[in-house]
């Protein structure tokens, strides 16, 4: 089980992920069946700026978590699993040491990339 303590902002401001997202992540954890190590959970604007997060990062609204990357977790994050849970994963080519999951409406990162790089 992922704990609340793992997902709280590291600036000790008390910001945490939403209850709905927390419950969803624990459903994901149960489906994955292995430990998932949280690298970054909720981030207040100050902490988000310190770590170079996006200006409109879902971490700041408690709707994103980064997990330590492993081959098995990356394999579990198939489009079928992500879509079933309604999760979005950032393109793993740009997140080499972590896996970013958020509860924004599901869409394949591949779809987003194909729109960005159309000739």
Where do the domains of the chain lie?
A: 4-116
Tell which residue, 114, 111, 116, has the closest CA to residue 89.
Answer: 111
- Our CA angle for 26, 45, 68, nearest 5°, is 40
Q: What is the pLDDT of residue 119?
A: 40
Are the CB atoms for 15 and 58 separated by under 8 Å? no
When pLDDT is averaged across residues 34-43 and rounded to a whole number, the result is 96
**What is the rounded distance in angstroms from the CA atom of residue 65 to the CA atom of residue 7?**
7
When pLDDT is averaged across residues 65-80 and rounded to a whole number, the result is 93
pTM: 0.86
Tell me which architecture the domain covering 4-116 has in CATH.
2-Layer Sandwich (3.30)
Residue 35: is its pLDDT beyond 50? yes
**Torsion angles phi and psi, residue 84, rounded to 5:** -60, -35
């Amino acid at each position: 089980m992922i704990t609340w303590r793992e997902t709280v902002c590291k600036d000790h401001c008390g910001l945490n992920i939403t209850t709905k997202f927390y419950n969803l992540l624990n459903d994901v954890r149960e489906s994955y069946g292995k430990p998932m190590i949280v690298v970054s959970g909720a981030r207040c604007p100050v902490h988000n700026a310190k770590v170079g997060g996006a200006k409109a990062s879902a971490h700041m609204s408690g709707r994103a978590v980064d997990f330590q990357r492993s081959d098995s977790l990356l394999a579990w994050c198939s489009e079928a699993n992500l879509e079933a849970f309604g999760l979005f994963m950032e393109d793993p080519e740009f997140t080499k040491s972590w896996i970013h999951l958020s509860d924004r409406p599901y869409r394949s990162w591949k779809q987003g990339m194909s729109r960005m790089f159309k000739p």
